[in-house]
Chains A and B, each alone.
Chain A
Amino acid sequence: MYVIRRVGVFAFSVFAASVLVFTVMSILPGDPAQVMLGTQATPEAVDALRTELGLDRPLPVQYLEWASGAVRGDLGTSPFSGQDITPQIIDRLQVTIPLAVMAMALTVLISFPLGVYAAARHRRFGDNVVSIVSQLGLAVPAFWAGLLLVTVFAVGYRWFPASGFPGWDVSVFQSLKSLFLPAVSLAIVQSAIITRYVRSAVLETLREDYIRTARSKGLTRSAALWRHGLRNAAIPVLTILGLQFAALTAGTVVIESVFVLPGLGKMLLDGITRRDLPLVQGGAFTIAVLILGLNLAVDLTYRLIDPRVSEQ
């Protein structure tokens, strides 16, 4: 029941996102036909192109056509390059999704141990160190961290490439290597945020009665924390992780530019500068669906962690 309802919410959200993306793109100033033909074009030529692109038809009709295509996985053709948009996006996702997943994995690997450690050393030296480090992490913008990492590990040590992406079919290892520094740059800020949430969630959990019960059964402090605390603490952290994943996806736009990665973010940015509206539309919609899908996954994960969710 919970699953069905939740999937229903997802479907509705996707619909709402499609309407939103479409509407925003359509009411943006700047006529695509005008942009494509340049400032020298005659009004007649612009009108002709508008007709050709279907821009002269009413908005709802345009939406329905675009949406029915999107349902079939066809996001239209880029009027700029004349290529189909969907294959382009799929191509780009092969960079962006691994990048985001890698960044999130790094975030979890960094922030969970740090947060738990800080909570266990509450108000002692270790906790203070973690707190200062996470303050720093928060203060550093991702692109700047990226430049710093490039300077040290790509230019200095030459361990990682400074930019570019060889492609999965060329070399999986080299591809992973070229995603590593961008993923670290994204993970720094995220880790700083998540560490704080993990720390406070664990601290809160440690004050719960059932931790005291666990200790009265003969568990050590740390055993009580591991066996009884972490799963409970994970519940609020999971919410934040889902939200931050969205922020992280947005962050890829900047970081893909810094590292010249052929990802979705880079494509969006290029599309915007070229006023390639159908491309931007398709890209934005794809990102929206990704984030909504992720939130759905988070909500379904709740059920695995917290047996009370389905009864609420």
Chain B
Amino acid sequence: MTAPLIEVDDLSVFAGSTVIVDRASFSLAPGSRTGLIGESGSGKTITALAMLGLLPDGLRATGTVTLNGQDLLSRPERDLVALRGSAMSMIFQEPMTALNPVMRIGRQIAEPLRMHQDMSRPDAFALAVELLGSVGIDEPERRARSFPHELSGGQRQRAMIAMALSCGPDLVVADEPTTALDVTIQAQVLRVLRDQIVANDAALLLITHDLPVVASVAEDVIVLKDGAIVEQGPATEIFSSPAHAYTRKLLDAVPPMSRSVGVPPKHVPATPGEPIVEMRDVRKTYRLRHRKLRDPDHVIHAVDGVSLDVLKGETLGIVGESGSGKSTLARIMLGLIRPTSGQVMVEGIDVTARKNLRPVREIAQIVFQDPMGSLDPRMLVRDVVAEPLRALGIAGDHRARVAELLAAVSLPADTGDRYPHEFSGGQRQRIAIARALAPGPDLLIADEPVSALDMSVQTITLDLLDQLKADFDLTMVFISHDLSVVHEISDRVLVMQQGRVVETGPVGNVFASPQQRYTRDLLAAIPRLDGSFLGPAA
């Protein structure tokens, strides 16, 4: 066995007296690819930051981190500065905020080259352009002169990869590098990441909550729970026969579609009911404030001629990547946004007429993506849930109704007397669901309701929605960028791209034999637990 590149021994991180990382020990071989997995708050990122000596102020690390024979934790900062960016580097999750908004991409990539390799400005810039080309960015020369906001999310993350690899590091830590990206972009970026790591002979520590992503890139896996390592070993072994209950729980939360190909959907469409929502040729265009020469008509077609019916009692899944218009469509359905043209009827009521707002609210309610942002932090949960009742002037015992709703979403009875911040993400989403159900709607629109949640919490929340749908006799519109989640909950699915409906049909049909190329691309981009989707390394 070769000597390890980096050896982490008994690493603990404290915030005051609170233990964040608890005696973690592991080692990475040169050129190896290891996934560090666990749910949010398990200490994955902090472990990595401690390894690079980049812990936020106020956190303290103990133990040893040995890179190429020297202990990093006992080294003074000036020694670490020489190693960061050259021997070890890091790729961060959100490339928009992780790149300096006022510095050109090329200069940001050239920076470590200038520092660590003493390159001249033109040489470093030329190499930066070359690196941008190698991570698959078109027109690298031009892109090197762009600012971060002028690039797409995928391009930014590619630039980040180029930057991390610029000095040929021995170790690259990638922290949720594709979590903020669309599924097709995720596949491309993961492939670039893996191929570049292999080409550079670097070791990779990939931090993610997404097990199929790990499976497609990493050979080994370390499982972190509450700051402590519960299990580590080869990915194939751990994913096929997990020893620890926590690992099993994580694996169980992986949607069936990501486990193997050709899984039948949970639901099949029942006999079609009456349409509860009817949309006819709905369009929503936004006029660009600034005319751009490249864009002759100066408008964005957010929703571009959509006609659809939502049938009573069904769950209609709407999938699409960011910018496909799915959220705009949902808001139009509720009358939150007025369409530029077209007809929208909910139970025969014209949603686009302002006077119909109240009756529509009693019929249709929505649950948003971010359960923290969408709940007023200064309101007691009881008041949050009761607010629609008051706003719509619904008579009755509001207190009893709130208690009933909280029970329905399986929250403890005392939940009402507390504030939203006292709850976890999953619990907060239940509060949001309870609020949506308060006026007794017939139609529940869920816009990315589980995207901000850990996978195990996703599963529970999806099950809850299914249960509520039956108990409250609901029709549901479920919007998500995540095909495997839509596959889990929907009867019928509608695929959107650039404001248009590309394909629609029963989930089983669309996912098993997609008719459109775009749908096929989306399906092919879903990471799978067997690690097959990226194909062999280049």
Contacts and interface: CB of A to CB of B under 8 A. Distances in A.
A232 B81 CA distance: 23
B89 A217 contact: yes
A210 B291 contact: no
Interface residues of A, number: 25
A217 B100 contact: no
B54 interface: yes
A208 B56 CA distance: 12
Identify the interface centre among A214, A220, A221: most chain B CB within 10 Å of its CB: A214
Contacts of A221: 77
Nearest to B109: A217
A212 B102 CA distance: 16
B290 A311 contact: yes
Nearest to A305: B102
B149 A308 contact: yes
A307 B147 contact: yes
Nearest to A228: B100
B97 A307 contact: no
Given A216-B90, A228-B103, A308-B147, A1 B290 contact: yes
A218 B82 contact: yes
A33 to B, nearest CB: 51
A18 B326 CA distance: 50
Contacts of A216: 52, 54, 84-85, 89-90, 92, 164
B413 interface: no
Interface in B351-378: none
Contacts of A158: none
Contacts of A2: 290
Interface string B88-99: 011010100111
A219 B290 CA distance: 38
B112 A217 contact: yes
B458 to A, nearest CB: 26
B84 A1 contact: no
A212 B89 CA distance: 11
A6 interface: no
Interface residues of B, number: 33
B85 A307 contact: no
A218 B116 contact: yes
Interface string A296-312: 00000000011110010
Contact of A215 (B84, B94, B101, B147): B84
A212 B82 contact: no
B83 A218 contact: yes
B488 interface: no
Given A1-B291, A209-B94, A308-B147, A218 B99 contact: no
A155 to B, nearest CB: 48
Contacts of B92: 209, 212-213, 216
Interface in B40-89: 52, 54, 77-78, 81-86, 89
Nearest to B116: A218
B517 to A, nearest CB: 32
A179 B464 CA distance: 74
B89 A220 contact: no
A305 to B, nearest CB: 7
A311 B149 contact: yes
B54 A218 contact: no
Contacts of A220: 77-78, 81
A231 interface: yes
B97 A232 contact: no
Given A208-B97, A216-B90, A218-B81, A307 B102 contact: yes
B115 interface: yes
B115 A217 contact: yes
Contacts of A235: 102
Contacts of B83: 218
Given A1-B291, A215-B54, A217-B115, A306 B101 contact: yes
A228 B148 CA distance: 14
Identify the interface centre among B82, B90, B100, B103: most chain A CB within 10 Å of its CB: B100
B321 interface: no
A212 B84 CA distance: 11
A209 B97 contact: yes
B22 interface: no
Contacts of B77: 220-221
Contact of A213 (B99, B102, B149): B99
B314 interface: no
Given A209-B92, A212-B54, A307-B149, A219 B81 contact: yes
A222 to B, nearest CB: 11
A231 to B, nearest CB: 5
A2 B291 CA distance: 11
Contacts of B163: 213, 217
Contacts of B94: 209
A215 to B, nearest CB: 6
Contacts of A219: 81, 85, 111, 115
Nearest to B149: A308
A228 B112 CA distance: 13
A210 B97 contact: yes
Contacts of B101: 210, 232, 306-308
A203 B134 CA distance: 36
Identify the interface centre among A215, A227, A308: most chain B CB within 10 Å of its CB: A215
A169 to B, nearest CB: 44
Identify the interface centre among A209, A216, A232, A307: most chain B CB within 10 Å of its CB: A216
A217 B85 contact: yes
Nearest to A229: B100
Nearest to B115: A218
Interface string A1-15: 110000000000000
A218 B163 CA distance: 12
B393 to A, nearest CB: 40
A228 B99 CA distance: 10
B445 to A, nearest CB: 31
Identify the interface centre among A218, A219, A231, A235: most chain B CB within 10 Å of its CB: A218
B92 to A, nearest CB: 6
29 contacts: A1-B290, A209-B92, A210-B97, A210-B98, A210-B99, A213-B90, A213-B98, A213-B160, A216-B54, A216-B85, A216-B89, A216-B92, A216-B164, A217-B85, A217-B111, A217-B112, A218-B81, A218-B84, A219-B81, A220-B81, A227-B111, A228-B100, A231-B102, A231-B103, A305-B102, A306-B102, A307-B101, A307-B147, A311-B149
Given A210-B100, A216-B85, 7 more contacts: A1-B290, A213-B98, A213-B163, A214-B111, A218-B86, A218-B115, A305-B102
Interface of A: 1-2, 208-210, 212-221, 227-228, 231-232, 235, 305-308, 311
